[in-house]
Chains A and B, each alone.
Chain A
Amino acid sequence: MDTSRKILHCDMNAFYASVEQAERPELRGRPLVVGGNEELRHGIVLTASYEAKRRGVKTAMALWQARQACPDVVIVPPRYELYRRYSMAARRIYYDYTDLVEPFGPDEAWLDLTGSIHLWGGDVRSVAASISNRIKHELGITCSIGYSWNKIFAKFGSDHDKPDGYMEVLPDNACDLVWKAPVGDLLYVGPATEHKLNHFGIWTIGQLARADPALVRRTLGKPGLVVQAFAQGRDASPVRPLDLAITDTEREVKSVGNGITCPFDVEDVRTARQVVWLMGESVSQRLRQLGLMARTVSATGRDFRTLACHSRQARLDRPSNITTEICSLAASLLVSDWDFRYEKIRAIGVRASNLVPAMRPVQLDIEGVEERRLRQRALDESMDELRHRFGNHAVRRASELLDPRLSGLDPERDHFTHPVSYFA
């Protein structure tokens, strides 16, 4: 096991709430929640400030619950553009110390200092202090930093000294620090996995590290062995730098999707189709922007009563990023899966996966199908161009105008990239 790497994980504390407090001094020291729009039924806590967390407000709680827990809580709507600016500014600070920076969502990043630490006197602790200081003075927010020889333990360190902390997880103290912690504290051990492991008497990370691999494999399948290696500190995955010019947080696009919790429950086929078209349109638009085509399309609906998700997917006849092809397949998938006599849908999502580059040779046919597709593609491109120049509402489908409740939604603009999977 190579323990000579020097990896930091920086995590900006209660990011959205901290940025709001940095921007608006009158909110400092007050219990603050950045939450979705209640009228549109996105009323959950996205981030709570430490003052609010201390009073029992938790992430993903409904806003009414947050108000119940903390009656004087201040709730503000999210301003993603602002958070993106702070996220970029933090990353620019990281780049002063190393070129190997791997963002993990807007508020977290790994830094590999192995090759550059000698430039800073060889002392990781002082580099961490300097990063933390700069984030405080230049951005007005705090961050927690974990240092270890691998990414998993570095993240563990930053998670365990919050806010504004620093924790070193080195070979001589890892057993004490990490192994005694509950197994759910390990990255990629979520509540379901934790529950399964608890069932077999595995409560701490140390117990997972020492468990019989055959048992782990039987319980969690192959990924279980990866998680067990994480617990043992045997994570050799490199810090993968990203090209800032290409994309903000995503490494390689595996799928493009968009979903929405509707402002009202969808109770008929026509409305369901409209929402699918709205989502599908933004998905295909993003596919075209990324220069990709999808082979598979999936549509998901969330039941209004049980909140359970039903998802269905199908392959397209040929790879496509044409709006009509993606939307009509997604719409038929969703509609076939729901019986509107008994059911209503609360949230709808469309996803395109199995992606291939758009620039590739096309097999022509004698029926002229490909010719029609070329015309469709040209139409889509013209609409993209109009939207690019005059905004997303410049050209709209007639179906969007049928229901005024849908016309205010702008899925393309509201899209925000969230952490991608570690395994991606």
Chain B
Amino acid sequence: MDGIIDRRKHYVEVLSETDVEGRAKPLEVIWDDGTRYKIDRVLDRRQAHSLRTGGTGMRYTVRVAGRDTFLYYEGPRWFVEAKVPPSYLG
């Protein structure tokens, strides 16, 4: 967690799959620069509030490249709690 000062709400593009019950399953997160992060597993799914960045929605605990992180579905948008590097704050 070196160099992370803060987190901010960041809307992202997400590739997802919706089942007949209407449950969305995120497959890939696509960052602003076009980098695609494949979601290996969805570990948990629950309605929750983001304490770190504010906002509420369906919170997916997802595993990306061996690390667990949160992805929120705010309907109709997705957001992540993006790390803010020191340089961002100037």
- Determine if B54 and A139 form an interchain contact, defined as CB atoms under 8 angstroms apart: no
- Determine if A89 and B56 form an interchain contact, defined as CB atoms under 8 angstroms apart: yes
Question: Which DSSP category, helix, strand, loop or mixed, fits chain B's interface?
Answer: loop
- Determine if A22 and B54 form an interchain contact, defined as CB atoms under 8 angstroms apart: yes
- Docked Cα-Cα span, A134 to B54, in Å, equals 16
A-B contact pairs, 10 of them (CB 8 A): A25-B53, A86-B56, A89-B56, A136-B49, A137-B48, A137-B49, A138-B46, A138-B47, A138-B48, A139-B49
CB closest chain-B residue, reference A134: B47
Per-residue CB contact flags for chain B residues 23-61 toward chain A (1 = under 8 Å, else 0) read: 000000000000000000000001111111111100000
CB closest chain-A residue, reference B74: A85
Q: How far does the Cβ of B48 sit from chain A's closest Cβ, in whole Å? A: 6
- Docked Cα-Cα span, A334 to B18, in Å, equals 55
Chain A residues positioned under 8 Å from B49 (CB to CB) = 22, 136-140
Counting chain B CB atoms within 10 Å of each CB, the highest count among A25, A89, A134, A137 belongs to A25
Q: How far does the Cβ of B69 sit from chain A's closest Cβ, in whole Å? A: 18
A24 touches B (CB below 8 Å):
yes
**Which of the residues B46, B47, B50, B52 comes within 8 Å of A89, measured between beta carbons?**
B47
Question: Which DSSP category, helix, strand, loop or mixed, fits chain A's interface?
Answer: helix
Given contacts A23-B54, A137-B49, A138-B46, 20 further A-B contacts (CB under 8 A): A22-B49, A22-B54, A22-B55, A23-B55, A24-B54, A25-B51, A25-B53, A86-B56, A89-B47, A134-B47, A136-B49, A137-B48, A138-B48, A138-B56, A139-B49, A140-B49, A140-B50, A140-B51, A140-B54, A140-B56
Q: How far does the Cβ of B70 sit from chain A's closest Cβ, in whole Å? A: 13
- Determine if B56 and A25 form an interchain contact, defined as CB atoms under 8 angstroms apart: no
Chain A residues positioned under 8 Å from B46 (CB to CB) = 138
Chain B residues positioned under 8 Å from A25 (CB to CB) = 51-54
Count of A interface residues, CB-CB < 8 Å: 12
* B interface residues with partner A (beta carbon < 8 Å): 46-56
Interface residues of A in 73-90 (CB under 8 A from B): 86, 89
Interface residues of A in 209-235 (CB under 8 A from B): none
Chain B residues positioned under 8 Å from A139 (CB to CB) = 49, 56
- Determine if A22 and B53 form an interchain contact, defined as CB atoms under 8 angstroms apart: no
CB closest chain-B residue, reference A86: B56
Q: How far does the Cβ of A89 sit from chain B's closest Cβ, in whole Å? A: 7
Chain A residues positioned under 8 Å from B47 (CB to CB) = 89, 134, 138
Interface residues of A in 126-142 (CB under 8 A from B): 134, 136-140
Chain B residues positioned under 8 Å from A24 (CB to CB) = 54
Given contacts A89-B47, A138-B47, contact A22 B56 (CB under 8 A): yes
In the A-B complex, list the 4 residue pairs whose CB atoms are closest, starting with the nearest.
Answer: A140-B49, A138-B47, A23-B54, A25-B54
Counting chain A CB atoms within 10 Å of each CB, the highest count among B46, B53, B54 belongs to B54
- Docked Cα-Cα span, A136 to B56, in Å, equals 11
- Docked Cα-Cα span, A137 to B51, in Å, equals 9
- Docked Cα-Cα span, A139 to B56, in Å, equals 6
- Docked Cα-Cα span, A245 to B36, in Å, equals 38
Per-residue CB contact flags for chain A residues 101-140 toward chain B (1 = under 8 Å, else 0) read: 0000000000000000000000000000000001011111
- Docked Cα-Cα span, A23 to B8, in Å, equals 11
- Docked Cα-Cα span, A137 to B56, in Å, equals 9
- Docked Cα-Cα span, A89 to B55, in Å, equals 12
- Docked Cα-Cα span, A24 to B7, in Å, equals 12
Q: How far does the Cβ of A85 sit from chain B's closest Cβ, in whole Å? A: 8
Chain A residues positioned under 8 Å from B51 (CB to CB) = 25, 140
CB closest chain-A residue, reference B47: A138
